[in-house]
Structure 1
């Protein structure tokens, strides 16, 4: 029967053996579907000039079809009779040194040729399926922008015995995406837990297990039951915390070892995990479904965390975490104890992990952001947060609309990475009436203004090229048209404004981070379009713009205290009692002058129309930049933008400042890059700095600040602040990998038995670093390491007081037995 459906394409993949493509997903009415297209065939594109040198049999069938290379070279195309023929021809041509343009995976080529994004319309004869609700065996498939569907999401978590690598338990929690509410809603049902009983467990074990827990005979039975249950639940996405590198990788490994089928997809093929390769992380393939690693998504999202363990992120976002919060050897020992002696508690722990992941994805909005990114770019959900894949998809489509094929990936080309943004040396000290001005999406605006574009670079070489400060050349845009990248960014700017106007925060954010990722991609070796001079052109223009803005502001008699990439901190001359409106008006006036200057510069020096826009961001009634520490000052760190004769004592820290932020609704202390907001300092140090800043910004005298310092030192010495003395640091590599030096947190990790990467909590005792549980460590007692209070005074409190005093704030050093400095900063 002929049928038509609208929905979301969850997985698009090619069947090489039968020369067909499957589009699998969920329809708007809630049914899962699989659409088969056996008519599509891929094409090979090569420079027309290369055909004469090919063997006669290989060049047969090639013809020009109005397609061109990035540099304008004419291409000839050949459509393969089948998928295997395409693969063989592309490989043969590459072996002969002939560049194949527009190459890629068959799924990506199909998506591009059909113009398919996340939303699709499917029509054709329909019949019931075995592993999906409906199958379209000879489908007509087209793109559909406005589609949505109630996606089902399964969260998977396993517990293992690390001694023999076996799987002890698997937990499955379900949720559904509500298109109407734009929410991920956890199902009101118990989490399923498949449990292999510990050796020696009695026959009555099942009677004492929590609801939803099922005891299975052995590990092989667990894999079989897992496959059966996933097939029954039929999720569109499988999510989990580190689910690709750990949970699925281990399940695939164990199923192969046991000879058990691990077919949890929408076909009879087993799930696979592809190892990481050139510029690619490990990837899980479950036919007909997608895998979303929640930990990777959290790393890519807008929020930053002390580390990316599920326990840390869950407590930060939900206010709750795992039932066992230990780490390293202590955690393994506790789970072993629970598994062997308290099966019900072990099962409860396993169930909670799977549910936590769903709650984190919903509370943070990361699931909604993932769908929005995939829909915007037209990319698979599993690659929605992959910047290179997103850029190549978006830019490749822009090329195709211009009759241009994406270039081949060139091994060994010059891509040394994207340089950092310009940082203007800061001027240390205390100021009043400071405004922060920032450029609206500076790097995307640079691309729009100065034609920074791979195609413009490839077609440069004329006398009127735009030449970037780093020497990169870009052809001017043809009359009445735009180069692909500036045009793409133009459209994103417009759509972001539309999203903001309709109060769509998710859409606005997605457009913003996509645009801002383009610069980094142009300096990433895994991107086919990347070149060192492309990324360098963006940063060199950015530096030029920042310096010109600084010069214009200083001609107005205002002092620029600091500049970083796209922001300028300006002392306005207004006092701390000025109203927010006065700061705003002064900032807006400076922005107007700078924008006029930059528009004139772009037109006069580059023949370009400026899209650069400096805007007022915020105002500080009181503001301080701490001076460089001695070691930093002696390094002479600078990007060369300073006058060169500025004394080291007058230079401030980069990316570190604090102020009394004044807004239309009141004042608050705001701290960036200083100890109070750094997780590698103790809670005591962070609280100490925040309290001092709050006092002096509110007008406290040196005597009042000194009384607080003395009180803190006294409380510390009496042991009243022990609970705030715990350091928490993150190991970026295993503790055993530290050979040349052994910093305190590594020593603590080794003592705690932490073998891999992760966070370690410890105190500094007289004997050295001692690992502790941050939730339980408090006043010193039997068995609890006693802090070395002298260490905390010398290494935590005194440096903060010294820094603030040297900045010109009324913070006395007398309580530490030192004389307060007499700063001569300005």
Structure 2
């Protein structure tokens, strides 16, 4: 028996049937297993079995490479189905087209063979395999039995980075780094050292790297934008030089796939190895940075950066290649080392492995909420006797609302407590047994009244036979373990997965979308927030805002003469409210529905000072925008939500101005002269470095036609003036001048300082000065009147 962790999975058609290839990591090294003679299966209406048989026999006379079999499964409308097995995926697609032409429905035609094989065995990532000890680690093992287990091996990982000319058509060097090796393959002549190997030309450099990689044999290759740049450039260079980018184990070639459209993202499969990108994993683990450049992230996380950092870095790299190859090797290796240290510091590989074991998604897969849901849900659905519906097949006139957002009471407050329902939507699904399968069971079975739990819009859910509540329990336990281990990224990833269960059910892009189900979640959330607000206000406190799963409570007694001021008093009140509200919900749900409550409200935050703004130009309170002061281990800390300080599309001027102005008002310090002084400095040209806007291009430049925002105008001018071409996804830094938006690095006109006063300082200042019956303009006018 061998315990193994899945690295890659692939499939292909052969004359003998579909073949599945799996590469695994084990403590004894890599293992390659192959499952042969697999049939492709999908489902068809049993009532049409005879018609289907005749249709296919006419199209394919003689010995058929397909078969029909009755199975104990049915559709979501309770119609029995048969399984149609095909020898190859190509034949399955042909048959599906024939059935579609005959107006015969098919189900689960889009499940990939390798994924179906594993998911039906409940294998997400780790498995126990009956394997003999091979003479060669790359010797394929045929049809071994596999069973699911919980296992994590130590994976061998290496960081990769390349240096090229600015057009990426000439290779300069390739660097690799791990805790065991640091090496640079350099094009050119020089003396070899332990870390540096010179190669006469690019072709020999590539060959030397490929030979080293085969010998070192890593499970994981990491990098920064490694697929979109490094590996793709190596692919293009290899093709030009007549080489194969055979990075796979056993020198197997890589397989590329690209999204449709110009500039679509590329994806690569490397048999036996995973390619992990640091940017993608950090985003998946919920890290946020103003810029995901390696320089910015490494400085912020490691307090260490690249060896070259200027805007003309590309030219400097070429100069080093021509004049100082040792310095170029050091620069190349440093980039590799930084990526390695980021992965190590934030345990990104551990994060990816845990997520893979929980969801069935491969290590390199980011996003994939629908894919993860279906991987976990489908095999359990089959055990309940159902096949999955097709996309768009579930139709209803019901409109499912979003989360409940309460009208806010604007103002500046002392002592506001935030009570937050922990994973509200998953806990609603678990508590009220909300689940597609339970919904269908309630529709198709003659269940007594006490055998179902009522939802909304005439939805009912069977108390027995549900799937999602059990999955949510499993993920909840995994999250609690991650919290005990202080693994914040994994804990957040599990939270995202659980919350995605609602997102999947509420998305038209999911085959299980049914607004009767999703509305039973959101409308129950509305009810819970509203009834919780009513209960809190019955205790004598005022709820000034509520947003989906949180309530903001102003600590005051309706008939009392004072408001508690001390931190300790507020903490006691917050903990008591959370504790007693949980008990109230537990009793209420037991009495009304006879169900166990998994709702859990927590006392999350105490704002010593709190601002709930108004909408601009209105006295109505805003939503999802607020600021406040919390006590962070004895030190006051300002927190912003939805305001300019946390928005990267606002200038540094606005963000710094807001931070200082709000602090002065919250702490009752003088602020009027500060506002005037900042305004004076802006108009005097003393803050130019803080006037830069930075925004990402969401589309290609030519796709902006009717509405051309300022950052696009600046990007087009940059191309016109310098020849530089920005693509979708690139960032543009620009300023507003007397001639409009212009790129920062090629500005031609004077800055429009009044724009920055009107569009950056005024909105920030007036948001809070409104509650002092003031405005920025009034403060400036008052100053002028002193000299009038």
Moved more, 686-695 or 223-232: 223-232
Q: Which residue of 1 aligns with 2:772?
A: 808
Q: CA deviation at 1:140?
A: 2.7
Q: CA deviation at 1:592?
A: 5.1
CA RMSD of aligned residues (A): 3.9
Matched, 1:761 2:727: no
Matched, 1:293 2:277: yes
Q: Which residue of 2 aligns with 1:738?
A: 704
Check 1:91–1:799 CA distance in 2 against 1; reply closer, same or farther (3 A cut): closer
Q: Which residue of 2 aligns with 1:46?
A: 44
8 A contact 2:228–2:265 mirrored in 1: no
Task: Count residues in correspondence.
Answer: 756
8 A contact 1:209–1:343 mirrored in 2: no
8 A contact 2:413–2:609 mirrored in 1: yes
Query: Deviations 1:69-113 (Å, cap 9, x if unpaired)?
Result: 445444434655677666666665555524144761111022123
Q: Which residue of 2 aligns with 1:563?
A: 546
Q: Which residue of 1 aligns with 2:8?
A: 11
8 A contact 1:433–1:620 mirrored in 2: yes
Check 1:416–1:514 CA distance in 2 against 1; reply closer, same or farther (3 A cut): farther
Q: Which residue of 2 aligns with 1:24?
A: 23
| Counterparts of 2:397 and 2:19, CA distance in 1 | 37
Q: Which residue of 2 aligns with 1:124?
A: 131
Query: Deviations 1:629-684 (Å, cap 9, x if unpaired)?
Result: 12xxxxxxxxxxxxxxxxx31x2332221222146745432222222222223323
Matches within 5 A, 1:213-362: 214-218=198-202, 220-256=203-239, 259-276=242-259, 282-325=266-309, 346-362=328-344
| Counterparts of 2:325 and 2:699, CA distance in 1 | 33
The structure 2 residue matched to 1:377, chosen from 352, 355, 359, is 359
8 A contact 1:126–1:136 mirrored in 2: no
| Counterparts of 1:245 and 1:411, CA distance in 2 | 36
Q: Which residue of 1 aligns with 2:60?
A: none
Question: Secondary structure, in 3 states, of the residue corresponding to 2:338?
Answer: helix
| Counterparts of 1:568 and 1:323, CA distance in 2 | 48
8 A contact 1:550–1:560 mirrored in 2: yes
8 A contact 1:50–1:98 mirrored in 2: no
Structure 2's unaligned 5+ residue stretches are 58-63, 719-723
Moved more, 603-612 or 724-733: 603-612
TM-score (norm 2): 0.84
| Counterparts of 2:732 and 2:469, CA distance in 1 | 46
Matched, 1:147 2:151: yes
Question: Secondary structure, in 3 states, of the residue corresponding to 1:375?
Answer: helix
Matched, 1:798 2:781: no
Q: CA deviation at 1:379?
A: 3.2
Query: Deviations 1:526-559 (Å, cap 9, x if unpaired)?
Result: 4332345544443333223222323333344432
Query: Deviations 1:28-81 (Å, cap 9, x if unpaired)?
Result: 24x222123347555444343331322256698534343444454444346556
Q: CA deviation at 1:515?
A: 0.4
8 A contact 1:391–1:521 mirrored in 2: yes
The structure 1 residue matched to 2:349, chosen from 367, 381, 389, is 367
Check 1:334–1:523 CA distance in 2 against 1; reply closer, same or farther (3 A cut): farther
| Counterparts of 1:415 and 1:362, CA distance in 2 | 50
8 A contact 1:116–1:143 mirrored in 2: yes
Q: Which residue of 2 aligns with 1:709?
A: 675
Question: Secondary structure, in 3 states, of the residue corresponding to 2:671?
Answer: helix
8 A contact 2:412–2:611 mirrored in 1: yes
Q: Which residue of 2 aligns with 1:678?
A: 647
| Counterparts of 2:222 and 2:485, CA distance in 1 | 31
| Counterparts of 1:524 and 1:334, CA distance in 2 | 48
Matched, 1:64 2:70: yes
8 A contact 2:608–2:628 mirrored in 1: yes
8 A contact 1:171–1:354 mirrored in 2: no
8 A contact 2:384–2:465 mirrored in 1: no
Q: CA deviation at 1:352?
A: 3.9
The structure 1 residue matched to 2:381, chosen from 393, 399, 421, is 399
8 A contact 1:13–1:107 mirrored in 2: yes
Q: Which residue of 1 aligns with 2:184?
A: 192
The structure 2 residue matched to 1:629, chosen from 593, 609, 616, is 616
Q: CA deviation at 1:377?
A: 2.1
Q: Which residue of 2 aligns with 1:168?
A: 171
Check 1:73–1:159 CA distance in 2 against 1; reply closer, same or farther (3 A cut): farther
| Counterparts of 2:131 and 2:78, CA distance in 1 | 40
Check 1:787–1:103 CA distance in 2 against 1; reply closer, same or farther (3 A cut): closer
Check 1:495–1:576 CA distance in 2 against 1; reply closer, same or farther (3 A cut): same
TM-score (norm 1): 0.80
Structure 1's unaligned 5+ residue stretches are 175-185, 198-204, 631-647, 778-782, 821-826
8 A contact 1:655–1:672 mirrored in 2: yes
Query: Deviations 1:538-588 (Å, cap 9, x if unpaired)?
Result: 333322322232333334443222221111112121767622332233334
8 A contact 1:307–1:759 mirrored in 2: no
| Counterparts of 2:564 and 2:581, CA distance in 1 | 26
